[in-house]
Chains A and B, each alone.
Chain A
Amino acid sequence: LAPWIPVVGLEIHAQISSNSKLFSGSQVQFAAPPNSLVSFFDASLPGTLPVLNRRCVEAAVMTGLALNCSINKKSLFDRKHYFYADLPAGYQITQQRVPIAVNGSLSYSFCIDNKMSQMVTKTVRIKQIQLEQDSGKSLHDGTRSQTLVDLNRAGVGLMEVVMEPDMCCGEEAAAAVRELQLILQTLGSSQAVMAEGQLRVDANVSVHHPGEPYGVRTEVKNINSIRFLAKAVDYEIQRQIEELENGGTILNETRAFDSKLGCTVPMRDKEGKQDYRFMPEPNLPPLILYDAKSLPANMNHQQVINIDWIHERLPDLPSVKREKLVEQYGILPEHSFTLLNEDGLAEFFESVAKQTQMKPKKVIGWILNDLLSYLKQHSLTVKESPVSSFLLADLLNLLEKKEISSTAAKQVLAELWKGEGKTPLEIVKEQKLELLQDQKELEQICQAVIDEQENQ
């Protein structure tokens, strides 16, 4: 049988972290009482007009720069029309013709075969980033045959990040999204928490034989975590391969991932292909951005965005942070990858490293093997760790000074997890774990043991 090449592209919607919505002043907040964060514009009251939120534009520019995109100094807004209960105006304002950023790239890494020793780095092209409105939420109440509509989310700013079909499997897709998530969180442009709907991923999947054109693709939606993303993509690839090998065809359809069953199912047919009747948004002039060169002299600072100014103030991206950790502490790239992969872990490690004489290369083992596995076992975040960096550093110092053995140290750590407020030294004394250093004392103990043996 001829080999199959799976092709995976992603459309990611990241909710912009801002105080107010993209085109109106109502607040952005998760889990507020229904319809309590809805302005006249969000409710599409006739006669209301959109006013662009500066912070949202800045977030998109930051994200575009972090993803190596060209920032379009002039971008446009369009209306995308369709009727749905959670879309009050009957159209979404988006950027279809000329988005704010294009042609970027994202490098991501992952471990082959789950071994921490073999890391692979790949790149996925970023087609574009566009600003657009989020829709409201509709809840279908089957028993009462009604639909409940909550418009709190309607109009919240989104960045749609389109990743070209450069990925080949669930693992790659998951790693790419994870890296994007870290970048967004580092920038602060989105909190990117999937569970709260701040990061939504749709996967486009197709398969083909080498040398042949791309196959028909399906769109997979309803993916609620990075783990499920990998599963959904891999399932869909398999499903398509099996279908084609059995002589079937792939429909260009939208499928939903069912996390319970671990498979994708066709979504309700949306009456064939939708024609969104795109039209320029007449109430918003073109969005003009400047850089240091093109910035006019007498412009009101409030009214302009300077791309260079934003660029200069970008924080260190995860990839840079990782390199710095490797350089500064002599740890392996895989180590720094894991450090950044856990929220707060890198900071914890650095804090411990500062407070102990133990070499960072040795500290990292305690962080990644002992601390991390304990946290994982108990489903705790780094912030929730009962063992603070101070306590751990304290313990490691005892070990470093050879006051206790490595086995004893693990015993003390196990005790520290209980979070009873004892210091490592106190535990060592309690459990008599001190290493005996005195030559004479040691000789006496040995002699006693030998004598006992002789007596028997």
Chain B
Amino acid sequence: ALLKDGLRSQVSAALKEGQATPTELCQRCLALIKSTKFLNAYITVAEETALKQAEESEERYKRGQPLGILDGIPIAVKDNFNTAGIETTCASKMLKGYISPYNATVVQKLLDQGAVLLGKTNLDEFAMGSGSTDGVFGPVRNPWSYSKQYKEKSVPKSHFEDEESNWVITGGSSGGSAAAVSSFTCFAALGSDTGGSTRNPAAHCGVVGLKPTYGLISRHGLIPLVNSMDVPGILTRCVDDAAILLGSLAGHDPKDSTTIQDDFKPFELPNLTDVSKLSIGIPKEYHAPGLSSEILALWSKAADLFKNAGAKVVEVSLPHTRYSIVCYHVLCTAEVASNMARFDGLEYGHRSDKKDSTESMYAATRREGFNDVVRGRILSGNYFLLKQNYEKYFVKAQKVRRLIANDFVKVFRSGVDILLTPTTLSDAAPYTEFIQEDNRTRSAQDDILTQAANMAGLPAVNVPTALSERGLPVGLQFIGRSFQEKQLLTVAKWFEKQVQFPVIQLEEVKRHDNGVFQHQKSASFS
């Protein structure tokens, strides 16, 4: 029961009162990680250091001096964040075996508050992808593939088909983190979000995925994909927990010149009861081609929910939405080409044996170290950055980006507080189906609903809403004004309470969570 509880109300209280100990918690999570190994959610499990951190936390609790609400709480971190002494691979051959000498700022903050770092989670190589299928350690499996809810609904197509071939993807690129949170192996996980990489897997795995405003949380130590769009993402099982994590991570970092200078004050989310003053915008362009009728219906139902509760629900327009994929493609590949230039095998990471010349060593190293997806983006990006192409592509894309961002500004200025949209086009696809199309095609399809928020730097959150006909999670997305996370999450929390998303019924979890505590029958977490 403890594993399924929210941080604020249950777990932290339990730790404080000694009803549970950090070491117990840590051991249970580690055991669960082992028994859910088939999910392939973790690249590295830092068992020794985690237990040590748990012990230290326990000492503090015994002395009555916990560092805060996160003290002793097991956390997982996406493997594109630097963790000192623990391998950081980005799921790439280029960084296999790379042990960073420093902690990313967000990692350091978590450790400083006593969090227990269980391990590094799996992802698409260098965070490029929307399935968490293209990393060098193999694909991540969506825990819901093994849920009672999914199994009940899935009809085996043939006599020979079994679980093995039927499993569904997590979405990406922070699939490992989403799966880890979804399968209860940790209480919260860090992801990253450049075009939807936290919200997309959150939707497919039935967890809360928060993309904060660009500049709110430090990127120092996050291995960059697109510096002007990347943010650290937060994955939790309930909105309240996301707010707690946000509070512990946000704020100016002198090591990251793109973080805001203003003071950030952590907040507690109020329990909103009256939504009559709220104005919810429904952007019509998010009725995108390929949007499943199921999700369309859910979206509509959600809008009605707000309307019936007294909120003002209006249709709005973000007219440049349809250009965002192409715009994103240009800007993303350009920055990727630039950011990946440092991987030459000279100072760290994989180095080829080819030694004829520096150039040949560089070329071989990069060919050997990067997968096709990464290399494809580098080539595209370099093409767009060529002198003769720069104006036509890069500068043009920057201008279009400005238009996309302005769309949001206009809408928010017109009185709308929050936008409500789908997060994904459909529920999670089976792996065998997903890999029929290449990474670029998939990314282009799947990012359509999420990446405009990255273009505009706005905060957005996926809230698990309901199960699809196949028994898989579907989430809806809320997009808020810059730096208005409190308002965004307050509304998200209200919505969460309304929909009462079901708890995943996983065999493995049942075994490890053997009812020491009273199990809350209701599905709500807070």
Check B344–A90 contact: CB distance below 8 A: yes
CA distance A89 to B81 in the complex (A): 18
Instruction: Please tell me if the beta carbons of A51 and B82 are within 8 angstroms of each other in the complex.
Output: no
A298 → B minimal CB distance (Å): 12
A-B contacts at CB below 8 angstroms, number: 99
Cβ B347 vs Cβ A88 within 8 A: yes
Stretch of A187-195, A245-253, A281-289, A429-437 contacting B (4+ beta carbons < 8 Å): A281-289
B100, CB-defined interface residue at 8 Å: yes
A50-74 residues at the B interface, CB under 8 angstroms: 50-52
> Chain A residues near B255 (CB, 8 Å)?
49, 51
Judging by beta carbons under 8 Å apart, are B346 and A278 in contact?
Answer: no
B258 / chain A contacts, CB cutoff of 8 Å: 49, 282-283, 285
- Which of B219, B258, B338, B390 gathers the greatest number of chain A CB atoms within 10 Å? B338
Is the beta-carbon distance between A47 and B223 smaller than 8 angstroms?
Answer: yes
Residue B335 is within 8 A (CB to CB) of chain A in the complex: yes
Query: Contact between B220 and A46 (Cβ–Cβ < 8 Å)?
Result: no
Q: Residue A46 contacts which of B95, B254, B338, B358 (CB distance < 8 angstroms)?
A: B95
User: Which of A47, A149, A284 is B257 in contact with, Cβ under 8 Å?
Assistant: A284
**With a CB–CB cut-off of 8 A, which chain B residues contact A278?**
385, 387, 390
Instruction: Give the CA-CA distance A303 to B257 in the complex, in Å.
Output: 12
* Chain A nearest Cβ from B363, distance in angstroms: 9
CB contacts under 8 Å to A, within B69-87, are 81-82
Q: Which B-chain residue is minimally distant from A276 (CB atoms)?
A: B387
Contact: A49 with B341, CB < 8 Å?
no
Q: Quick check: is B359 within 8 A (CB to CB) of the other chain?
A: yes
Contact of A282 among B100, B104, B227 (CB under 8 A): B227
**0 or 1 for each of B332-353: is its CB under 8 Å from A? (1 = yes):** 0011011011111011100000
Instruction: Knowing A83-B362, A285-B258 are in contact, say whether A44-B390 is a contact too (CB < 8 A).
Output: no
**How many angstroms between the C-alpha atoms of A51 and B252 in the bound complex?**
13
By beta carbon, the residue of chain A nearest B215 is A285
CA distance A89 to B334 in the complex (A): 15
Q: A91-B341, A279-B338, A283-B227 are in contact. Are A52 and B82 (CB under 8 A)?
A: no
B408 within 8 A of A: no
A275 part of interface (Cβ distance < 8 Å): yes
Which residues from 215 to 247 on chain B have a C-beta closer than 8 Å to any C-beta of chain A? Answer: 219-224, 226-228
B517 contacts partner chain A, Cβ-Cβ < 8 Å: no
Knowing A85-B358, A282-B228, A284-B257, the reply to whether A47 touches B104 (Cβ < 8 A) is: yes
Chain A residues with CB under 8 Å of B341's CB are: 81, 83, 89-91
- Interface bits A146-158 vs B (CB < 8 Å: 1, else 0): 0101000000000
How far, in Å, is B41 (CB) from chain A's closest CB? Answer: 22
A378 sits at the interface (CB 8 A): no
**Contact mask for chain A residues 75-106; partner B; CB cutoff 8 A; 1 contact, 0 none:** 00001010111001111000000000000000
Q: Which residue of B lies closest to A146 (CB)?
A: B355
Residue of B nearest to A23 (CB): B257
Q: Is the CB–CB distance between B346 and A88 below 8 Å? A: yes
Q: Are A46 and B223 in contact (CB under 8 A)?
A: yes
Report the nearest B residue to A86, measured CB to CB. Answer: B346
Q: Quick one: which of B261, B335, B358, B387 contacts A275, CB cutoff 8 A?
A: B387
In whole angstroms, what is the CA distance A49 to B254 when docked? 10
Distance, CA A275 to CA B389, complexed state (A): 11
Q: A279-B394, A283-B258 are in contact. Are A85 and B338 (CB under 8 A)?
A: no
Chain B nearest Cβ from A93, distance in angstroms: 11
Which residues 258-316 of A have a CB within 8 angstroms of B? 275, 277-279, 282-285, 303
Q: Is B264 on the interface with A (CB-CB < 8 A)?
A: no
Q: Which residues of B contact A47 (CB under 8 A)?
A: 81-82, 100, 104, 220-224
Interface centre among A46, A89, A90 (most CB of B within 10 A): A46
Interface members, chain B 251-265 (any A CB < 8 Å): 254-258, 261
A40 within 8 A of B: yes
> Which of A83, A90, A91, A149 is B359 in contact with, Cβ under 8 Å?
A83
A284 contacts across to B, CB distance below 8 A: 257
Residue with the greatest number of chain A CB neighbours at <10 A, chosen from B222, B228, B347, B355: B347
With known contacts A47-B223, A49-B219, A88–B254 Cβ distance under 8 A: no
A275 vs B82: C-alpha distance in the bound complex, in angstroms?
A: 32
Q: Does A43 contact B (CB under 8 A)?
A: yes
For B90, the chain A residues whose CB sits under 8 A away are 46
B386 within 8 A of A: yes
Q: Does A411 sit within 8 A of B, measured CB to CB?
A: no
Query: Would you call A149 and B346 a contact (CB within 8 A)?
Result: yes
Q: How far is it, in angstroms, between the C-alpha of A435 and the C-alpha of B491 when the chains are bound?
A: 105
B102 within 8 A of A: yes
Q: Once the chains bind, are B338 and A45 in contact (CB under 8 Å)?
A: no
Q: Is the CB of B223 within 8 A of A44?
A: no
B382 touches A (CB below 8 Å)? yes
**Which residues of chain B (105-119) have a CB below 8 Å from chain A?**
none
Complex formed: what's the CA distance from A85 to B360 in Å?
12
Whether the pair A40, B342 counts as a contact (CB closer than 8 A) is no
Closest B residue, CB atoms, query A25? B255
Residues on A facing B (Cβ under 8 Å):
40, 43-52, 79, 81, 83-85, 88-91, 145, 147, 149, 275, 277-279, 282-285, 303
Q: List 22 A-B contacts (CB under 8 A).
A: A40-B101, A44-B347, A45-B101, A46-B224, A46-B343, A47-B82, A47-B104, A47-B222, A47-B223, A50-B257, A51-B257, A81-B385, A85-B358, A90-B342, A277-B337, A277-B338, A277-B385, A278-B385, A282-B258, A282-B335, A283-B227, A303-B261
Given contacts A46-B100, A275-B386, A277-B390, 6 further A-B contacts (CB under 8 A): A45-B348, A49-B255, A81-B338, A88-B346, A90-B340, A278-B385
